[in-house]
C-alpha cells in the first residue's frame, strides 16, 4: 500500500465539479486580478475568523512581510519569535531590516514558550510573532499580556492553523494581525501560492491594502512604497469552494488524528493537545529516537513521512550571524533531531492509518 503525506488529487476529485464551475466563471469574466472572487473571499474569511477585515495577498510569506510593515516594524527593530518554524516566519522579519530574537519552545507543543519571552525584551523590541505550529495555537493569554505591558504588537503566524481555536476564539483574531498561508498542503489550500491578512484594526487594514497593490488604494495614485502582492481571482475562486468544506475537513483531520493516537499510544510520543486548544492537525507529528532508520523503513513500505523541521532556525547558515548556540535553545535543538510527521489528510481511510501504524511499529 502507498500512503502519501497528503492526497491533493483525492481532495480535488471530491470537489471537482464545484471547482471547475467556479473557474469557468472566472475565465468567462475576463477579470483575473482583485475581482469579485477576491472581495467575496475576503468577506467570507473575515466572517469565518471573526475579524472586521481581511486582505488577500500573494502568499503566506507576503502576509507576514506586509503585516510587519503595517505594524510599524522596521530597520533596527527586534521581533521576538520561535526558532522552530519554517524560515518564512523570519524571512519576513529580516527582509525589512529587523532582527529575529529567538525564544525557545515548549517541548510538548513545540510552540513558543511564553514564560521565556520577558527576559528577551529590549528597548529595540517592537513585536512578538508567535507561530501556531502543526495546527495548534500557542498559549496566547500570557503572550498578549506581555505585549500589552510592554507596548508591543502581536502578529500571529497562522500558516499551519486555519480553523484552529484558542479558548473558542479562532487563531488570527487574537493579536493585532493574523497571517494565513494558502499553500496547497495547508488545511485550506489553493492550487498555487496565496495568503490572507486579517485584523480588527482599520488603520492596519488600509495600510495592508495599499502595500499589496504598489502603495495605492486608488489607481495610479501611490502614497507609499508598496509591493505587487495580490491574490488572484483563480486562486480566490478555488478557495471559496474549499472554504465551504473547511469545517468538514477539519473534523476529519481531528478524527484521523484520534485514530492515530489510539493506535500509537505508549509506543511513540504522540502529539500533545492543550486543553485550551482546538488542534486541527495540519501535521500529525510524533517524536522518536531512531528517526532516520524509521523514515527509511516507512519509505520501503510505501509510507511517506516528513520532518518539520530538521534544523532549528538558529542552526541555519543564514542566521549564524545571530550567534545562538544549541545550548541557548535546547528544546528547539532536541525537537529538530526527533520530530517526524506522518501522513494525514481529510480523505485518509482507517485502513491507511492502520497500515502506517503497523509499519511504524516494525521499525520503532
pLDDT along the chain (364 residues), means of 10: 96 97 97 96 98 98 98 98 98 98 98 98 98 98 98 98 98 98 98 98 97 93 95 98 98 98 96 98 97 98 98 98 98 98 98 98 94
User: Can you give the pLDDT at residue 218?
Assistant: 86
Question: Do residues 79 and 64 lie in contact, with contact meaning Cβ atoms separated by under 8 Å?
Answer: no
Which fold would CATH assign to domain 8-243? 3.40.640
Q: Do the first three CATH levels of 8-243 and 246-363 match, i.e. the same topology?
A: no
d(CA 166, CA 245): 21
Q: Measuring CA to CA, how many Å separate 157 from each of 92, 227, 331, 334, 356?
A: 11, 20, 20, 23, 30
Q: Give the cell for residue 74.
A: 522596521
Q: Give the cell for residue 39.
A: 472581495
User: Can you give the pLDDT at residue 79?
Assistant: 98
Q: Which sequence spans correspond to the domains of the chain?
A: 8-243, 246-363
pLDDT in tens, 325-360: 999 999 999 999 999 999 999 999 999 999 999 999
Which fold would CATH assign to domain 246-363? 3.90.1150
pLDDT in tens, 121-164: 999 999 999 999 999 999 999 999 999 999 999 999 999 999 99
Amino acid at each position: 500500500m502507498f500512503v502519501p503525506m497528503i492526497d491533493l488529487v483525492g481532495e480535488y476529485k471530491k470537489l471537482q465539479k464545484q471547482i471547475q464551475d467556479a473557474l469557468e466563471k472566472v475565465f468567462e469574466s475576463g477579470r483575473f486580478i482583485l475581482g469579485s472572487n477576491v472581495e467575496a473571499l475576503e468577506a467570507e474569511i473575515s466572517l469565518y475568523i471573526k475579524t472586521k477585515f481581511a486582505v488577500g495577498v500573494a502568499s503566506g510569506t507576503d502576509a507576514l512581510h506586509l503585516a510587519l510593515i503595517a505594524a510599524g516594524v522596521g530597520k533596527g527593530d527586534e521581533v521576538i519569535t520561535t526558532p522552530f518554524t519554517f524560515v518564512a516566519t523570519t524571512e519576513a522579519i529580516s527582509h525589512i531590516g529587523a532582527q529575529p530574537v529567538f525564544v525557545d519552545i515548549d517541548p510538548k507543543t513545540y510552540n513558543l514558550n511564553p514564560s521565556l519571552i520577558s527576559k528577551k525584551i529590549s528597548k529595540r523590541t517592537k513585536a512578538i510573532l508567535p507561530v501556531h505550529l502543526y495546527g495548534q495555537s500557542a498559549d496566547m493569554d500570557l503572550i498578549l499580556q506581555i505585549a500589552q505591558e510592554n507596548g508591543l504588537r502581536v502578529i500571529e503566524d497562522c500558516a499551519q492553523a486555519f480553523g484552529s481555536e484558542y479558548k473558542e476564539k479562532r487563531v488570527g483574531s487574537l493579536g493585532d494581525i493574523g497571517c494565513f498561508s494558502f499553500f496547497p498542503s495547508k488545511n485550506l489550500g489553493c492550487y498555487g501560492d496565496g495568503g490572507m491578512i486579517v485584523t480588527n484594526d482599520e488603520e492596519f487594514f488600509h495600510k495592508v491594502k495599499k502595500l499589496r497593490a504598489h502603495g495605492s488604494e486608488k489607481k495610479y495614485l501611490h502614497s507609499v512604497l508598496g509591493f505587487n502582492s495580490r491574490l488572484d481571482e483563480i486562486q480566490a475562486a478555488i478557495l471559496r469552494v474549499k472554504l465551504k468544506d473547511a469545517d468538514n475537513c477539519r473534523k476529519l483531520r481531528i478524527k484521523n488524528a484520534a485514530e492515530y493516537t489510539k493506535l500509537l499510544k505508549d509506543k511513540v510520543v504522540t502529539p500533545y493537545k492543550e486543553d485550551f486548544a482546538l488542534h486541527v492537525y495540519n501535521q500529525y507529528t510524533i517524536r522518536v529516537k531512531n528517526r532516520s532508520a524509521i523514515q527509511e523503513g516507512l519509505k520501503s513500505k510505501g509510507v511517506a513521512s516528513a520532518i518539520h523541521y530538521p534544523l532549528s532556525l538558529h542552526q541555519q547558515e543564514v542566521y549564524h550571524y545571530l550567534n545562538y548556540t544549541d545550548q541557548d535553545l535546547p528544546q528547539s535543538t532536541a525537537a529538530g533531531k526527533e520530530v517526524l510527521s506522518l501522513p494525514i489528510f481529510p480523505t485518509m481511510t482507517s485502513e491507511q492509518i492502520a497500515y502506517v501504524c503497523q509499519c511504524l511499529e516494525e521499525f520503532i
